[in-house]
Chain A
Amino acid sequence: MKRIYLDYAATGPTKPEVLKAMEPFFLQKFGNPSSLHSFGQETRAALDKARGQVAKFLNCKSGEILFTSGGTESDNLAILGVVFEYYHQAKNKPHIITSSVEHHAVLHTCQYLEKKSEAEVTYIKTDNRGLINPEDIKKAMKPNTLLVSIMYANNEIGTVEPIREIGKYIEKVNKDRDNKVYFHTDAVQAIEYLNCDVKYLHVDLLSLSAHKFGGPKGVGALFVKEGTAIKRLIHGGDQEYHRRAGTENVPGIVGLAKAIELVVRDKSKNEKIRKLRDKLIQGIGKKIPDVILTGDPKNRLLNNASFCFNFIEGESILINLDLQGVAVSTGSACSSGSLDPSHVLIACGFDHQTAQGSLRFTLGEQTTKEDIDYVLSILPDIVKKLRKMSPFGRKNVGV
């Protein structure tokens, strides 16, 4: 059976050129970058080079890039690091502003701080497209606000948040404040498709993860603007400018840097992906009744097509598609397994029943017109069959 992958927001294949760039760092160039000898020197050089490539992409200095194990660690380090450093200076309880549609890496970290009484948190509500109004952040600002963390693009519904606008506002606010407000963005979904120039965005912290844009899994980075005080979470060495101990994942970091280089080189492929995505959205809209496109129709990632299919469960559609070789997701891969309705859709104001009908298609470089045609040829039948009243399932008969 031919298999079609339409779940690039979860992860994607490592690009062959990335793999090739990584290869020497397993067998030949295996030295520990902290070693003084020639083996260490060659991997140290590779590490420096990779850091430079990432810094160039984000338009920042090399010293502002920390390599981590991925997006989740970057988010944790950004939030916990800033809060713990703040406490280190023995101040009163800080305030964090974030949104209700964030990835769990941010949400759960904030909830953890709340539970331990180490921070108070405001969760900004979005409109029904998942869009944050910067005015709401202004309203939520308090004298003890320490950190604002807003994602760049939503992993489930693809909505792109007004990061630059928020960043500029916070920068302005900081001019009149003694205690600085830091601005973090989780840009994990954005790297391949959006402008990630940190000066353009006016952010102090930015998280990214390699496997979301053709790099390997298990490696990511956090941009920490010069002068941003953060406390390390992992102890045991002086690596990453004393901010993240542990021998560096050299092959992974080299792969990350290569993947980021390819993002720039292959920008032109994005138009093809957008066209296929539009074809999918239009096709589904035309062929299947009672479908809602979730997220913002315009301000959305160009590879994201997410829906709610009324009257049925996304889970059943997913399994049916999978049995016919098509891989999609009902929400984020991190929360599947637990099929609680997506917190993002609930935050957008959908009721539980509608949210249960959610399905996310995320396209990538390898997606073809034939793939989309195939999905459009089998999906209407699947939905039709599922919508046929079954004698079982109390949900449907309303008992």
Chain B
Amino acid sequence: MKKRIVVAMSGGVDSSVCAALLKKQGFEVIGVFMKLWSLDENKCCNIESLEAARKVASILDIPFYVVDLKKEFKEFVVDDYVTEYSRCHTPNPCVICNKIIKFDYLLKKTLDLGASHLATGHYVRLKSINSTHHLFTGIDETKDQSYFLWSLTQSQLKHLLFPIGEYRKPEVREIAKRFDLPTAQRAESQGLCFVGNLTQDQFLKEFIKFKSGPILDLKGAMVGEHRGLPLYTIGQRKGIIGLNLKRSYLWKKGKTPPLYVVKLDNTNNSLIIGEEQDLYQKELLVEKINWILGVQPQTKRIGARVRYGHPITMAQIHSQGRRLKVKFTQPIRAITPGQSIVFYLNDELLGGGIII
């Protein structure tokens, strides 16, 4: 009997090509579309995407089902996102969505349907060497999505496939055209899928009561008032307005330097600002660590990335109980608690964790 594979289809070109490639390779492919929670209409899993995905499934002549994960998505992804912001952290909801919604709930559904594997359109490569599963960055560096997949474990990886990781985006669009898939030219989804038509700040306003408080300089002098800490992110320059710097060391006759958010002090509800040079740090602490291979690598010198799309910087890692201390070889700008830090050895994804 042909091996059965479930493909998570979003209606986008990547997952469509993923389904097409697997079908062509002779697998019994089942398309599944996830319905996820959103404030009004979800930017990604809306009717238009559903119809696009269904159309592809019909062209490929594969069974297609809609799976409702709204409740789980709200509970684990959206609620976590709001809680993290209210704690003045800046989370990566896509990391949580991958960990819990796609590679736990949807993976369970996959196995429930008698399939051996779940395939998605992520730009990463999966290779099995002596029955251990290694993850590598996607061939297309500009599209690489390894940053969002650091939480994957061996027990998940043995049921996963990422066929798109071997291609560059233009090639994927080319394949889509060759298969006559209508999604070949669909625009990419961008931004948070669940905020609907709102901006992130408007969305947060629906769930968090903002409390204004003081803006301080690094020496504790009050220079202004902020509108609620969750509205600010470390490294942000825009939106710091109405400052009176006369009592601050930052006061310089003539011209004040550009000022940035340096820290969100949740305990005292104060926003700390400083200059560009104050944004740089050489070390940080990590928690909730996962290693793809199940164990911490022997090597102490590894590459690290502290934000999606940022370059990889070399660093030394030291265990501190269940936490990890990371010392960079050069200072890193705007390290943000709540964001994921992801570790690499060359192009292999070793694991990651959450910055404290």
Contacts and interface: CB of A to CB of B under 8 A. Distances in A.
A322 interface: yes
Contacts of A385: 112, 114
Interface stretch (B101-109, B136-144, B300-308, B327-335): B101-109
Given A319-B113, A323-B30, 8 more contacts: A313-B112, A320-B112, A320-B114, A322-B63, A323-B113, A390-B108, A390-B112, A394-B104
8 contacts: A316-B113, A323-B30, A338-B68, A339-B35, A386-B112, A393-B105, A394-B100, A395-B105
Contacts of B107: 392
A118 interface: no
Interface in A203-255: none
B114 A392 contact: no
A391 interface: yes
A390 B111 CA distance: 8
A339 B71 CA distance: 10
Nearest to B103: A392
A23 interface: no
Interface string B43-77: 00000000000000000000101111000100010
Contacts of A338: 35, 68
A340 interface: yes
A337 interface: yes
Contacts of A396: 108
A392 B108 CA distance: 5
Contacts of A390: 108, 111-112
Nearest to A390: B108
Contacts of A340: 68
A315 interface: yes
B68 A319 contact: no
A319 B65 contact: yes
Interface string A311-342: 00101100110110000000000000111100
A10 to B, nearest CB: 16
Nearest to B63: A323
A315 B67 contact: yes
Per DSSP, are chain B's interface residues mostly helix, strand or loop, or mixed? helix
A46 B65 CA distance: 42
Nearest to A382: B114
A386 B114 CA distance: 9
Contacts of A320: 112-114
Interface string B79-112: 0000000000000000000001001110111011
Interface of A: 313, 315-316, 319-320, 322-323, 337-340, 385-386, 390-396
Contacts of A313: 112
A392 B111 contact: yes
B298 interface: no
B104 A392 contact: yes
Contacts of A391: 155
Nearest to B110: A392
A339 B105 contact: no
A395 B109 CA distance: 12
Contacts of B108: 390, 392-393, 396
A358 to B, nearest CB: 14
Contacts of B105: 392-395
Nearest 8 A-B pairs (CB), nearest first? A393-B108, A339-B68, A392-B108, A316-B112, A392-B107, A392-B104, A390-B108, A319-B65
A339 B30 CA distance: 19
A205 B307 CA distance: 64
Contacts of B113: 316, 319-320, 323
Contacts of A322: 63
B63 to A, nearest CB: 7
Nearest to A324: B114
Contacts of B67: 315, 339
B8 to A, nearest CB: 14
Contacts of B30: 323
A256 to B, nearest CB: 31
Nearest to B155: A391
Nearest to B50: A337
Interface in B142-173: 155-156
A316 B109 contact: yes
Contacts of B103: 392
Contacts of A386: 112
A316 B156 CA distance: 20
Contacts of B72: 394-395
Nearest to B118: A392
Nearest to A340: B68
A320 B115 CA distance: 10
A246 B67 CA distance: 39
Contacts of A339: 35, 67-68
B151 to A, nearest CB: 13
A322 B30 CA distance: 12
A395 B63 CA distance: 26
B335 to A, nearest CB: 30
A392 B156 CA distance: 9
B29 to A, nearest CB: 12
Contacts of B109: 316, 393
Contacts of A316: 109, 112-113
Most B CB atoms within 10 A — which of A337, A386, A393, A395?
A: A393
A316 B115 CA distance: 12
Contacts of B65: 319
Contacts of B76: 394
Interface in B290-347: none
A313 B65 CA distance: 14
A351 to B, nearest CB: 14
B35 to A, nearest CB: 8
Nearest to B109: A316
A322 B114 CA distance: 12
Contacts of A393: 104-105, 108-109
A396 B104 CA distance: 11
A217 B277 CA distance: 71
A395 B105 CA distance: 8
A89 B78 CA distance: 49
Contact of A337 (B63, B66, B100, B104): B66
A313 B109 CA distance: 10
Interface string B30-41: 100001000000
B212 to A, nearest CB: 36
Contacts of B104: 392-394
B47 to A, nearest CB: 11
A322 B32 CA distance: 14
A323 B114 contact: yes
Nearest to B159: A392
A392 to B, nearest CB: 4
